[in-house]
Structure 1
């Protein structure tokens, strides 16, 4: 009945234990004794939340919303198997997932999962490979949301699967190759095992060690969940687990207590009490939401807090540090990864490294991975021509020889010395009419992203929105700066302003402050999609109405054939758009020259006004000081030579890239005709320009699949899941067509089709 405490349920449940169950639970208690000792020596620090209202316990794991960071189960070994459906109903009502064990009776193994209560299936090692395939097929038909494979020993007594062999890494690989469902590996206790689990294809891990959480979380990064199972008795234990690095916890014993004492009502009461206690612990520590849980909420006697995640994600804080290395001392020249910035353990920063390694390892493979321009259009002698053109321009302006020497050899103004020339080019080519003072010349568009995100995010409540999938550069910047990113996922038919409004309202309801939306409207990287004219107009209206900025990135407009749609900035009448540009795809990739158009007014406390561009320049002065004068001169000379019209200068390359895209699409269609790809479940979009297109496949297109593609079929591509800030894109791949000849494309698509056929058959 309602009103009982968790201790009451534990005390009353013991009276209902039979001899066998009591022995099994005693073994479980011994296994979790280490965690209980760790919980007992770990307290919570009081603090006051800056946000009104109750704390938000909701979270998102593997792209599914949970009402609280609690998973129920596994259900194996519960005292009354006939009552197990009661646990499912209670968990569904609470909005919590349930881990169903493989030994559960058949009628329970095939429930219809509720929208707010996904099922995970716990499985084991198998003597026969066919058993794996049958189990996975059953789980997929039943609508299970994930698989959980337990490594090593399965325990004893009624809580164990009696006929299961010990699972090992080969079982992980086999299960990964068999199913595209998200896979979690349980029984992980070391960072080395966590790395191996992720390398083998795991999407998350489960550990039974509270003390191991900081190390495991550092390996997992921000988008691969880490769960703790064992020893949870209080809501405060959950918050301690999250602050130590977990994304969620598994709760079985407390659920069993409620079931034994009062059936479904008891389970409902236990889960409700656990969530209420979690809310109380969050209130005590001033934690407004799960994503804001931080290590400095912990007060420990023996174990110092360790950094686990970047600011803005659950369980991490920039500036937190691990005392272990400092207390013990480091060898000279040896640094602990734990003592470096937490973002350096984020998978986002490793994606391009992995691609480069694959490309280097398989040099004979046809690579659809690099998104760089074709260098056959660049002539070395042009460099000198462009430099001379710029020097002549300075002389024609009346600059003295000393002035010209200073312009070329000295650092130059932080905001850039070719702003007028860039402004003229934007006016002539893009209809963007802004004063030169509103432009900052940067080291590529990447620096422009860093400057803008840094300037716009003033505190922990500030959030960056991003159209997803999105360019990894913007998510990498956010990780380095500790800025949380909220994805606004594109639909099949393109970006939806209704989804943007939903994201803005949701963030504000949680106490967040959405500051800007990052978007690539034209031939985006990675998907290749282009935003239509009505959506552009609606996006500007939405941004103005909600008081957020739009960060418009535009690298692919002038490498595409035809006349592009107007930029957002050229349509901007309320200064809602910060426009980012780069000359890397068009004029001179090696010069690394980009720019930001930031004409928004900034008002200080005394009422004085300036431009956002001025603030960006201040930040730049502390980052790169200035953009290379020589690089600026080469780009400026090119713009002057073409009267600022990149559209005309780049007409031949744009036609080349357009032909490469059409050739790729034509060859894909020939290798995988409509009826065949329909049978396989393969589809792709058809961009009219840019460098990229997206291919959706019926299998998991991850690093393991990429390695097989390169090694066995001689073709390289990019996994789309690299580009989803909050997870997703697991069954899609990105193709880049910009750097390939027609012969390369013909051979590469033939190899790709063979790989897709083979991988689809194996799935």
Structure 2
């Protein structure tokens, strides 16, 4: 009967459920209680649309158009084959996709009726060898548009004998190895269900997923930050209203899965009931969009939420009792501690120590053959003499060396002079903060610039893992601006800015390493630098310029972004780790931007960074600052001249690596294999593209069987990618190491390519 509401269908369907069916659905629904409570507590903020006409509910997921951001199913709770065609026909008529459930490979023996809408196949872990391959082949033959793998066990589902018969299939639990096997077997888009944390999302994308499904509404902002704009995040569970859909989209979802409502419509009125339920849901979504002034799905904004409410932490039945000590639940610690990014260096160190005889292209550190221990004392004496020459008393000098010193640093003037002499960066000393390495500078800048949950950091991708780690620790979303084969594109940056603002987020800054970047080794050309400054100024964002590799590279570098900056759009980060010595742990931030408070008083961004630093490290080691200052004074601030010999060494190491790679894998052979690499003119790193997944498993095999270590490039993609590329660092190796290491690497690439 037409005209029933969604509540009517829920009430009438309840009467039709037999006891066993009701119990099975209640078990499933319990997983959605937190979502339902959050939906009930969160409202929508009224606004007026700037465009006339009804709102546009259409969207595109995995390059397929949907009439609304709603997928029907999974159909685990629907009898097959008798009832399933009715649901498929109703979904097709509504222009919505359907997720069909498969518990065992035999389920595909019953063909799914073809239709206009996309069909997704939900599958699980497979126990027998060859099951995944057979099910994938059957799915592709049956015309499915995507695969959805559910982590964990299938649980309860309706069997094919008719409504009310419950099957408990003895299917194995799916795990990450199933994701990788499925990805390696099928070219169909792959989504992973059961994702609840940012760490899980990163792991899913690293394993090759094209999208993720979660049942946790409160996790959506974090998951969306990991997924970015090209990989969909779907929410399943608790959806009962059109407003719930818009709330989900505002929280970060791209679409929702609806199963319980469809089942209620089916039980009450068959195909007509499903049609009515889907129609009512879309109409309610339109009403919610009209209420919030949302003209289209693409324009859904986070500020459509009436409050910044996020559901309270879930209470675990196994929570440690009050008064217990010595045991902490990982779930009660900051979510970033479960992020794979924070495990990157630990894993690489473990591999390096486990295989000490392997040639390692992993560590991106300076060659210590240029370090002379006695030179430290020479540098310290040079700085002490400088202080005395400036008229400081013996007590002043003792205080400068033994006490904490000013938070912003005591060698700012010397660093400012060096930047002016060597880089053409002319800023007052007061705009500089001396930090514990450039890593602390990143933390201070990102913390200062991000004021609320809608602020987002952009990063040229692939990017240095340290900036990603800082953002994750601070809970700041990172949006990747992917570099193209021919370098960074300002058009891509502009598109990312526009896209983020359309989502209700505020891009604050772009992190970029213009010279010989880590990890890719690429260098930004002069026209792109000029265009980048213009784009940043026009859109009102800052550029965070990191510059660790300029003065360890041969030749004259292009001007820094900061030296070209005429509108104070650039925060420049630097480090003396590569040029003086890493153990000093001295870096700096140039932050000459004006900060205006509510009363109109102005100051420098550097002052704000110093406030944060006072609560993080208090100050940078006075002894370390003295050693670095002495080195700068000895070289009259010209690090380029001081580092001429090391820069020549690193340049030769890079050329030697490229020459040996070419000899071991000549052009014809690497073309046949599908192998290629870039050719940096300086810096520490280059990137090798390979025809296989260059993941941790491949790295372990490389170290164990071939005696060569490298770094998987997927570590450096904030939103996934780089699965078939590896980073080589050439800085720490001798010529003999490089010759032997490239020979081993070539043998590994040949063997791994053959096995793929």
**TM-score, normalised via structure 2 length:** 0.77
- For the residues of structure 2 that align with 1:246 and 1:13, how far apart are their CA atoms? 28
Secondary structure of 1:254's match? helix
C-alpha distance 266-527 of structure 1, shift in aligned 2 (>3 A): farther
CA contact (8 A) 1:419 1:439 kept: yes
Partner of 1:95: 95
- For the residues of structure 1 that align with 2:352 and 2:187, how far apart are their CA atoms? 25
Q: Which moved more, 1:178-187 or 1:540-549?
A: 178-187
CA deviation profile, 1:257-289 (whole Å, cap 9, x unmatched): 778999999877755644665788899999999
Aligned-pair distance for 1:628? 0.6
Q: Which moved more, 1:470-479 or 1:309-318?
A: 309-318
CA contact (8 A) 1:528 1:691 kept: yes
CA contact (8 A) 2:72 2:91 kept: yes
Secondary structure of 2:82's match? helix
CA deviation profile, 1:167-190 (whole Å, cap 9, x unmatched): 688756644664687766667999
Q: 1:386 aligns with which of 370, 375, 379?
A: 379
Partner of 1:610: 603
- For the residues of structure 2 that align with 1:662 and 1:180, how far apart are their CA atoms? 38
Q: Which moved more, 1:510-519 or 1:526-535?
A: 510-519
C-alpha distance 229-459 of structure 1, shift in aligned 2 (>3 A): closer
Q: Which moved more, 1:225-234 or 1:367-376?
A: 225-234
- For the residues of structure 2 that align with 1:317 and 1:141, how far apart are their CA atoms? 57
**Structure 1 gaps, min length 5:** 320-333
C-alpha distance 93-681 of structure 1, shift in aligned 2 (>3 A): farther
C-alpha distance 569-717 of structure 1, shift in aligned 2 (>3 A): same
RMSD across aligned positions (CA)? 6.9
C-alpha distance 236-620 of structure 1, shift in aligned 2 (>3 A): same
Aligned-pair distance for 1:511? 2.6
C-alpha distance 568-262 of structure 1, shift in aligned 2 (>3 A): farther
Q: Which moved more, 1:105-114 or 1:596-605?
A: 105-114
CA contact (8 A) 1:520 1:552 kept: yes
CA contact (8 A) 1:218 1:342 kept: no
- For the residues of structure 2 that align with 1:292 and 1:246, how far apart are their CA atoms? 13
Aligned-pair distance for 1:751? 2.8
- For the residues of structure 1 that align with 2:53 and 2:313, how far apart are their CA atoms? 29
Aligned-pair distance for 1:634? 0.4
CA contact (8 A) 1:454 1:481 kept: yes
- For the residues of structure 2 that align with 1:360 and 1:153, how far apart are their CA atoms? 55
- For the residues of structure 2 that align with 1:514 and 1:286, how far apart are their CA atoms? 22
CA contact (8 A) 1:152 1:166 kept: no
C-alpha distance 553-88 of structure 1, shift in aligned 2 (>3 A): farther
Aligned-pair distance for 1:232? 5.0
Q: Which moved more, 1:503-512 or 1:388-397?
A: 503-512
Aligned-pair distance for 1:312? 26
C-alpha distance 704-91 of structure 1, shift in aligned 2 (>3 A): farther
C-alpha distance 116-619 of structure 1, shift in aligned 2 (>3 A): farther
CA contact (8 A) 2:409 2:619 kept: yes
Partner of 1:713: 706
CA deviation profile, 1:430-474 (whole Å, cap 9, x unmatched): 111111111111111111111111222222332221111211211
Q: Which moved more, 1:496-505 or 1:153-162?
A: 153-162
C-alpha distance 278-412 of structure 1, shift in aligned 2 (>3 A): farther
Aligned-pair distance for 1:731? 2.5
Aligned-pair distance for 1:375? 1.3
Secondary structure of 1:32's match? helix
CA contact (8 A) 2:82 2:162 kept: no
CA deviation profile, 1:698-726 (whole Å, cap 9, x unmatched): 33332233333333333322222222222
CA deviation profile, 1:592-651 (whole Å, cap 9, x unmatched): 000111111222233332221122112211221111110001001111111111111111
Aligned-pair distance for 1:660? 1.9
Q: Which moved more, 1:514-523 or 1:142-151?
A: 142-151
**Matched residue count:** 749
Secondary structure of 1:76's match? helix
- For the residues of structure 2 that align with 1:314 and 1:278, how far apart are their CA atoms? 43
C-alpha distance 300-85 of structure 1, shift in aligned 2 (>3 A): same
- For the residues of structure 2 that align with 1:109 and 1:517, how far apart are their CA atoms? 52
- For the residues of structure 2 that align with 1:218 and 1:311, how far apart are their CA atoms? 30
CA deviation profile, 1:548-593 (whole Å, cap 9, x unmatched): 1111111111111111111000111111111000001111101000
CA contact (8 A) 1:318 1:342 kept: no
Aligned-pair distance for 1:95? 9.2
C-alpha distance 104-477 of structure 1, shift in aligned 2 (>3 A): same
CA deviation profile, 1:212-235 (whole Å, cap 9, x unmatched): 999999999999998765675445
- For the residues of structure 1 that align with 2:443 and 2:286, how far apart are their CA atoms? 36
Aligned-pair distance for 1:132? 3.4
Aligned-pair distance for 1:354? 2.1
Aligned-pair distance for 1:546? 1.3
CA contact (8 A) 1:124 1:151 kept: no
Q: Which moved more, 1:707-716 or 1:221-230?
A: 221-230
Q: Which moved more, 1:271-280 or 1:388-397?
A: 271-280
**TM-score, normalised via structure 1 length:** 0.77
C-alpha distance 541-221 of structure 1, shift in aligned 2 (>3 A): closer
C-alpha distance 699-611 of structure 1, shift in aligned 2 (>3 A): same
**Structure 2 gaps, min length 5:** 150-156
CA deviation profile, 1:672-706 (whole Å, cap 9, x unmatched): 33333333333222211111222223333322333
Secondary structure of 1:299's match? coil
C-alpha distance 193-368 of structure 1, shift in aligned 2 (>3 A): closer
- For the residues of structure 1 that align with 2:640 and 2:114, how far apart are their CA atoms? 53
Once the two structures are superposed, the pairs formed by residues 283-682 of structure 1 within 5 Å of their partners are: 305-306=312-313, 334-682=327-675
C-alpha distance 235-553 of structure 1, shift in aligned 2 (>3 A): same
- For the residues of structure 1 that align with 2:755 and 2:322, how far apart are their CA atoms? 38
Secondary structure of 2:16's match? coil
- For the residues of structure 2 that align with 1:152 and 1:109, how far apart are their CA atoms? 14
CA contact (8 A) 1:110 1:139 kept: no
Q: Which moved more, 1:210-219 or 1:447-456?
A: 210-219
C-alpha distance 77-508 of structure 1, shift in aligned 2 (>3 A): closer
CA contact (8 A) 1:555 1:585 kept: yes
CA deviation profile, 1:12-56 (whole Å, cap 9, x unmatched): 999999999999999989999999999999999999999999999
Secondary structure of 2:452's match? coil
- For the residues of structure 1 that align with 2:614 and 2:278, how far apart are their CA atoms? 53
CA contact (8 A) 2:300 2:503 kept: no
C-alpha distance 127-305 of structure 1, shift in aligned 2 (>3 A): closer
CA contact (8 A) 2:158 2:164 kept: no
